[in-house]
A and B are shown apart, each in its own frame.
Chain A
Amino acid sequence: MAQPPAAPFCRPARASILGGSDPLRSPAVLTALILTLAGLGLLALLAVPMARAPRVWIGDSAGPWAGLVVHGGCLLAAAVMAGCGLAVLGGAAVAPQPLPIGVTALVAVDALSAWFLVLLGLAAACSALFGLAHARDAAPRLLVAYPLFLAGMLLALIAADGFVLVLGFEAMSIASWVLVAADHQSPEARHAARRYLAFAVFSGICLVPAIGLLAASSGDLSFAAIRTAPPQGFVAAAVLALVVAGAGAKAGLVPLHGWLPLAHPAAPSHVSALMSGAMTKVAIYVLARLLLDLSGPAQPLWWGVPLLVLGAASAVLGALRANLETDTKTLLACSTIENVGLICIGLGLAACFRAADLGVLAGLAAGAALLHALNHALFKSLLFLGLGEVARGAASRQLDRLGGLIHAMPWTAGAVLVGAAAAASLPPLSGFASEWLLIQAMLAAWRVGDLAFQVLGVAVVAAAALAAALAAAAMVRLFGLVFLGRPRTPRAAGAVEGRGAARLALLLPAGLTLLFGLLPGPLLALAEGAVQLLVPHGMVERGSLAMIRVGDGGARIMPLAIALLLAVAGALVWWLVRRRAPAGVARAAAWDCGFMAPPQHLPFGDPVTQPSAAGFGQPLRRMLGGSLLAAHESVTMPAPGDPGPARVESGFADPSERWLLAPLARLRDALAARAEALRDLPLTATLMLPFGTLVALLALAAWLEAG
């Protein structure tokens, strides 16, 4: 019996039984996924004819009809993806098979792909449900791009060679660019789309040579061939830099996060949910696949350090910005930057522990990163969809124009509360379980013998803890300003809530967030195959339904017991309050802090008597914003005798704008000015240009042959 010795808990027996007894299963999964791909392509092809033609046949309901078909089809596709992912996670990996498209293109599903397929399926299901509920608003070109976006992500996840991986990744980028450019009449949206496209192109420019370098030593693009000849020396360093830059730009790692806060508000809500929940995860999948799986386990200790450092910077910067933004979707985009940073810390730690032969800890870090990716996909989808519902109901995304919505939109408020609490990593929700595991892995960084790494580990754990606290503050601010207090505008007072599919689109991720928070042990067991792929000799956590024990230390967590304790305490408080409360509830107007009575046209009180978004963020802006975000504040007093108002101006600037994007823009302008000079060349110089290029290339060829 030749069983892998290094997998004590991965049930090899069961895996082989399932895989062996059912030989039809593997092709069936792959066939289902390829059919899903084809179906999504067909939906994209038919979207415009469906949206245009039937106006003649069935009158006014034409628009929604096309939207219903497209989003319904996407919902079905999402269900297939999640189902196939679960089937593979429970069974055996699917061997690579060629795609039926004429060129050499391999697809396969292994445990890592399957984990991200489940994630993508769940996030896409929520998003498609929301799209189904609001199908009337969808423009035809969005109906084309939406299935293509899903298909691109699916293709990137099931790729088994570099060609298909890049193909899917780029299809995902281009399709989501169309979705970001949805509202192309507004200059802000056009600016966001341009910047998004620039970052997408940059990702492609980095990923294509990275895959070329990976495949160079074996001469074959398939993953199996790359695994047999992992990169070494300075080629490995170049691969690391290119992949971190290329996939990191798509995931939103810190110096390259400039597109996230612009693109997410520009896209429709359910697209933002998909971009933030699933697309950044596909980028993380590419990071994990290329850096941890394909580059082989024999990489040195510094292999994970760039991910650690960039992840910590992303976590802090994203969480801090989330406390200062005044647009709800921008705020959520910044929170995404924070969570992507945390996941990358987990992956980087896994690489470092693996290099230091600490298999248990590497397995812990990788498992925590995968779990947090899944949890973040769900709670961030939930938050984007919830605030999309708010933006529809109350007609604004600005925190300063909302407020008091818990009365008008109770279901949305409840669902967003679950999502916000998970994002603030409160037990017993899903965010708590995965962030607790991540912090446990970080706290064990001292086990690596290298002193410099230990110091780095301390810094990273401090940054992650700061980020978690800042994220909690941001979520309190978000929920408080949007749902609590009194309405700040009449429109917010008259908000109405969606029903049916819209409500289901919120309840599904909210329920899953709750469920995943209660069951991290079984989820980790499900993720085991994926962890084994990332950390071949890593031991997986001994998780069970009731308890997870971490590593070989004594730390443990009992999510069900925590939930029970919280429920008992909550019930006790509720009972006490009910018991001590006087009979009969009297409602009165809220005290307005002694301000004068509001004018007639503001029946809900003067908004300036409530905390504003900028005011709520002011303490943190003053404490941390000065150094990290170049925050500034100035007070302009009118001269004595001048009846004009005094003005307080405050703001902040992202460091990436100032240190990265602005110099790049200047460089681009300088290059363009130089290139402009080419148009004025005399004839001889114009002839000289191609001639010189030709001679230089020939000389290069001669030199390469001689060398």
Chain B
Amino acid sequence: MTFGSTGYDIAHLLGGGILLLSFVLLYQRRLDAVINAFAVQGGLLAAAAAWQAHLQSEPGLYVTALLAFGAKALLIPLALRLLLRRLGLHRTVETALGIGPSLLAAAALVGLAVMVVLPVTAGQAQALTRENLALALSVVLLGMLMMIARRNAISQVIGLLSLENGLVLAAIGVQGMPLVVELSTAALVLMLALVAGIVVFLLRDRMATLDTGLLDRQRGEGPP
């Protein structure tokens, strides 16, 4: 399956859409917009998984698609919105790195991912898998970048979850990957998100802020 066939084009389109939404996540200035973008990314991921299930004729991937849609597109965004409302947050995002520089860095990271993945897999895998891997690695790197470039705890949690989206994207693109690997990865990251949510609550309770930059002063070691 190469460039020009419908299966390839649609898979590529969905993967590209996920990557595009990673960029969108990076330049949003308001928290509810970030959550919206994340929900759309989850929906696209579910669509990509379903499409791969159709292409590879693997019914297991439909389960993945269903889970991704339920968790990433519906439940987690809803929970985050509830959180925002209950905490009554002022909804702008504090950035550690400006919007412009973070977008430049993101473009460089995508270039790096393509340069690494395409030559490594040359002649070894299908074109579909190769492109998919490059896209997935880009999404992972952008997720990490988002965790670094934002100081708000909720944005950092969303960065982590979007990183996990990249992992799932890589997993569904490779033929023969057992379902249990995807499920356990997803479970692991959801647990992390849960812990991060609790931390967010505690932060809000104790310190009346979600700016993780303030944590450094509270570590209780070193000079005050």
Choose from A679, A691, A706 the contact partner of B145 (Cβ within 8 Å).
A691
How distant is the Cα of A379 from the Cα of B147 in the complex, in angstroms? 68
Judge whether A298 is part of the interface by a CB distance below 8 angstroms: no
- Assuming A698-B116, A705-B120, A706-B115, is B216 touching A682 (CB within 8 A)? yes
Chain B 118-155 interface residues, beta-carbon cutoff 8 Å to A: 119-120, 141, 144-145, 147-148, 151
User: In the assembly, what is the distance between CA of A610 and CA of B167, in Å?
Assistant: 82
Given A688-B148, A698-B113, A706 contacting B119 (CB threshold 8 A): yes
Interface on chain B toward A: helix, strand, loop, or mixed SS?
A: helix
17 A–B contacts, CB within 8 A, in A order? A682-B215, A682-B216, A687-B144, A687-B147, A687-B148, A691-B145, A691-B148, A694-B141, A694-B144, A698-B112, A698-B116, A701-B120, A702-B115, A702-B116, A705-B115, A705-B116, A706-B115
| Chain A residues with a Cβ under 8 A of chain B | 679-680, 682-684, 687-688, 691, 694-695, 698-699, 701-702, 705-706
Q: Determine whether B185 belongs to the interface, using a CB cutoff of 8 Å to chain A.
A: no
Compute how far the CA of A691 lies from the CA of B112 in the bound complex, rounded to whole angstroms.
13
Chain A CB within 8 A of B179 CB: no
CB–CB B144/A705 < 8 A: no
Residues of B within 8 A of A (CB): 96, 109, 112-113, 115-116, 119-120, 141, 144-145, 147-148, 151, 212-213, 215-216, 221-222
Please, how many angstroms separate the alpha-carbon atoms of A270 and B79 in the complex?
72
Given contacts A683-B215, A691-B145, A705-B120, contact A699 B222 (CB under 8 A): no
- Is A684 touching B213 in the complex (CB atoms < 8 A)? yes
Nearest-neighbour CB distance to chain B for A685, whole angstroms, equals 9
Q: Which residues of B contact A698 (CB under 8 A)?
A: 112-113, 116
List chain B residues, Cβ under 8 A from A701: 116, 120
Given known A-B contacts A687-B147, A691-B144, A705 and B119 have beta carbons under 8 A apart? yes
Shortest C-beta distance, A443 to chain B (Å), equals 60
Neighbouring B residues of A699 by C-beta, 8 Å: 112
The A-B contact count (CB < 8 A) is 43
Measured in the bound complex, the distance between the Cα atoms of B215 and A695 in whole Å is 26
A98 to B120, CA, bound (A): 35
Q: Are A695 and B213 in contact (CB under 8 A)?
A: no
| Bound CA–CA A479/B221 (angstroms) | 60
User: In the complex, A702 Cα to B221 Cα: how many Å?
Assistant: 41
Residues in B with CB closer than 8 Å to A706 are: 115, 119
Complex Cα gap A682–B148 (Å): 11
Q: How far is the CA of A680 from the CA of B109 in the complex (A)?
A: 28
What CA separation (Å) do A188 and B148 show in the bound complex?
49
Chain A residues within an 8 Å CB radius of B96 = 684
Contacts of B109 in A (CB 8 A): 695
| Cα(A359)–Cα(B69), bound, Å | 79
Contacts of B116 in A (CB 8 A): 698, 701-702, 705
Q: Nearest Cβ in chain B — how far from A706, in angstroms? A: 7
* CB atoms of B120 and A683 under 8 A apart: no
Closest to B153 in A: A683
Nearest 5 CB-CB pairs, A to B?
A705-B119, A702-B115, A682-B216, A702-B116, A691-B144
Output the nearest chain A residue to B112 by Cβ-Cβ distance.
Answer: A698
- Report chain B residues within 8 Å CB of A684: 96, 148, 151, 212-213
The smallest C-beta distance from B39 to any residue of chain A, in angstroms, reads 24
**Bound CA–CA A699/B137 (angstroms):** 13
Min CB distance B50 to A, Å, is: 30
Q: Which residue of chain B lies nearest to A699 when distances are taken between CB atoms in the complex? A: B112
Q: Which of A682, A687, A695 contacts B141 (CB 8 A)?
A: A695
Across the two chains, which residue of chain A brings its CB closest to B212?
A683
Residue in chain B with minimal CB distance to A703: B115
**Bound complex: CA of A645 vs CA of B112, how far in Å?**
77
Q: Smallest Cβ distance from B26 to chain A, in angstroms?
A: 14
